[in-house]
Amino acid sequence: MSKNIFLLETDDQLCSLIVPILEGRGHTVKREISGHSALESVKEENPDLVIVGEQLSDIDGVGWIIKIRQTDRTTKLAFLSQIWRDTEFYQQVTRELKVSQIFHRPIKSALFGPQIDALWADRRLGPPAGTATIPGQVPVAVGAGVGDPSSALPLPGTTSEPAVPAFSSIPLSASMPMPIPGQTPVSSISTLADATLLAFRQKFSKSLPSRIKQIGEIVDRVERSSPDPKEMAEARRLAHNLKGTSRSCGFDRLGALAELLEYSLRDMVELQTDEWEKIDKGIQDARKESERVRVQFMDYVPTAEELQNLNPDSAKARVLMVCQEAQPKLSLPTNGTGGIPLEIISVPPGSDVLQKAVEKQLDAAMIEIMPGQREYAFQLARELRSLPGYDNLPLGFVYDLDHDDDRSDATHAGASIFIEKPFSQETLHEALQHLITIREGGRSRVLIVDDDEDFTELICVALGNEGMLVKALHDPFKVIDVLEDYTPDLMLLDVMMPGILGFDVCRKVRSSGRWQDLPIIFLTAQTDLNSRLSAFDAGGDDYLIKPVINAELLKRVKVRLDKARMQRERQDRDVLTGLLLRRAFSDSLSALLSESERHNFNFSLSLLDIDHFKKVNDTYGHLAGDRVLAHVGKLLRKRFRVEDLRGRWGGEEFILAFRHEKKETMQRALHRVLEELRKVEFKGDRGESFNVTFSAGMVNFPDDGTNTHDLILSSDRRLYIAKKNGRDQIVITD
């Protein structure tokens, strides 16, 4: 619907941004820089909207609004503010001067047009007739003065408890500037459209009555003369969670009331003071405030886009499905212990597959082997693994394995999973989850351990919008099992959880050698010095206080991830080949051995040595020798499965371990690598051409040894046999 809009603004650069946006949406825009001239124009032309800048050529913007309202109370106005103001300013401008919308600079072009159109839209979260809406706040009566009881609901600062703020910006906004402490920005919903958290606020508001009811039920059933400390501690924990999540959602007044309630419950237990009157009043006040919050969203129905953005695609693991027929839509979980949310990208076999893989940041791929296309599927898998950044892309195949050669060739191509058709959703889901969790590298993975499901969802949205894979765990007692399955790059950990403190969870994690270097950031609403010190004493790396500011959360998470990644690369990887160094490989091999012993699995191990490598260095130069080592390392990284271990044992010697596979199968797979290496033409330092091969010895656990020492010794013995028998071969028996 086309509207006639006046733009009163002296900033040419800002106008060059705003005018095309408005005209592109079909509106007619007339620009004025003189306030006095604009007053006359508005009287004559009666525009649908006047957008007023901070400063005009002859009067400031607020002064112009005051003048127009002295004679005109109906023209719709919007204000372009250069800075964040205090609550009193916003109340005056929106309630007394009837400004419908306040925009803050810098203007976001993607949001400005829809925000303008929304001024005439039939708002789903709209005020009653005769009220004006401040985005992100409650409706207020048109023309009512500050504190006027005729307003539909009170604004911040108009309640009987001014020390407790009502609504503020939601800190977890990807786009909103950080608010000045003590101020209440009014463009919350507008600026939050970028992060699409309005739907989450509505969802959280629905849970408030049951949350407060839980606290009230505990308080009602305890003996007032001798309250059970465990019951009171649980009530305090629930109030603590309510405080943190409410404030992180922008419901500051409710968060402040929950904090007062938490303190009263704490004093009751720790100081043994009589706080019953305060506790009862606190529950009553929180219940009233939660109802007031809930009413604001009662008629609000999130759009499909908003619901989608509560679980953004960037937070999902992307799996490429190469198949002839479109796969059925999977009903997959969004969070929690059910697995990582997935985005399935289905493409038919053909030339578009590699292009699609380049366009998308894949986390895994599943390839269907059609009749007569066996070699195509294996070659496609190898080509996918050869793409930049996909050295360790997890792969799976859908087909019926009829021969041992199929399995060895598929393993050589990188297949970690095989599923037969027809398969159920559950089978496919489990297979894809396995592929996602075994990948090392790729997109960063974050595990958040917090019993508050609403808060974890809020964090998942924020981190997911940054492209991270996020898994939420609400039962802290399962943390070790989930760590083993999910292998995160970083953990966010709450302090107050049912039955255990986050500090104890952190100590438990740190007691495992595998997780001693995992970055751990505590997230909690506790602000006292002892809590912060306890976090570091328990082994935490950082500490963030709820409500969490989005920019600070993302910055700290990214810094910790980058630091951990660099440290891991320096300590564990050989610079030349990109393979695990001897110490790191030995640690991983010990973990594989322990796992195989526990579950009665087998695995195979191989030592391989480049044939006549000293001759390569002496004849073709040491730089040529380095090129050979680097190429072998690259070849080993791209072949086999993601979960297989690859290391540089020393010099020209490499070591491999193949999880859950016997040596007979892996001998054939490794022989395919040997065939590939034979065909590679290397160049010497003076341009001469040469070829290389390798020799290998392979053993099987537990048949050829039950500990790492014996297995490596047996493999080395068979490597010696291979060299003695003429090299360029793989030996699996004595």
Give, for 326, the enclosing helix (H) or strand (E).
none
Q: Which of 652, 664, 676, 688 is catalytic?
A: 652
Q: What angle do CA 84, 90, 93 make, to 5 degrees?
A: 125
Q: Is the peptide bond before 20 cis (omega within 30 degrees of 0)?
A: no
Query: What is the distance between the alpha carbons of residues 630 and 193, in angstroms, rounded to a whole number?
Result: 49
Is residue 383 classed as helix, strand or coil in its secondary structure?
A: helix
What is the token pair recorded at 192?
Answer: 């939050």
Radius of gyration of the chain (CA): 32
Of the candidates 273, 333, 550, the one whose C-alpha atom is nearest the C-alpha of residue 453 is: 333
Q: What angle do CA 208, 214, 219 make, to 5 degrees?
A: 130
What is the token pair recorded at 40?
Answer: 């006359």
**Cross-sheet strand order for the sheet of 490-494:** 469-473, 445-449, 490-494, 520-524, 542-545
Q: Determine the distance from the C-alpha atom of residue 311 to the mean position of all C-alpha atoms in its chain, rounded to a whole number.
A: 10
Amino acid at 726: G
C-alpha dihedral over 47, 50, 56, 62, to 10 degrees? 130
359 an active-site residue? Answer: no
Query: What is the distance between the alpha carbons of residues 446 and 470, in angstroms, rounded to a whole number?
Result: 5
What is the token pair recorded at 251?
Answer: 């419901």
Backbone φ and ψ for 43, nearest 5 degrees, come out as: -65, -40
Amino acid at 301: V
**Angle, helices 276-296/198-221, rounded to nearest 10 degrees:** 150
Amino acid at 512: S
- Half-sphere exposure for 704 (CA within 13 Å, toward CB): 26
- The residues near 13 (Cβ < 8 Å, ≥ 6 apart) are none
CB distance 98 to 77 below 8 Å: yes
Is residue 532 classed as helix, strand or coil in its secondary structure?
A: helix
> Locate tokens 């009749």: which residue?
371
Query: What is the distance between the alpha carbons of residues 538 and 251, in angstroms, rounded to a whole number?
Result: 31
CB distance 413 to 395 below 8 Å: yes
| Inter-CA distances, 484 with 257, 334, 396, 447, 478, Å | 40, 20, 21, 12, 10
- Identify the bridge partners of residue 51 per DSSP, sorted by sequence position: 7, 78
Of the candidates 340, 332, 381, the one whose C-alpha atom is nearest the C-alpha of residue 357 is: 381
- Half-sphere exposure for 6 (CA within 13 Å, toward CB): 23
Residues in the chain: 734
CB distance 39 to 110 below 8 Å: no
- Identify the bridge partners of residue 544 per DSSP, sorted by sequence position: 523
| DSSP code per residue over 584-600 | HHHHHHHHHHHHHHHHT
What is the token pair recorded at 276?
Answer: 């019953």
Burial per residue of 570-582, b for 16 or more beta-carbon CB atoms within 10 angstroms, e otherwise: eebbbeebbbbbe
Query: What is the distance between the alpha carbons of residues 367 and 476, in angstroms, rounded to a whole number?
Result: 36
Q: Determine the distance from the C-alpha atom of residue 620 to the mean position of all C-alpha atoms in its chain, rounded to a whole number.
A: 49
**Total Cβ atoms within 10 A of residue 595:** 14
Query: What is the distance between the alpha carbons of residues 170 and 317, in angstroms, rounded to a whole number?
Result: 27
Residues annotated as catalytic (active site), given as ranges:
652
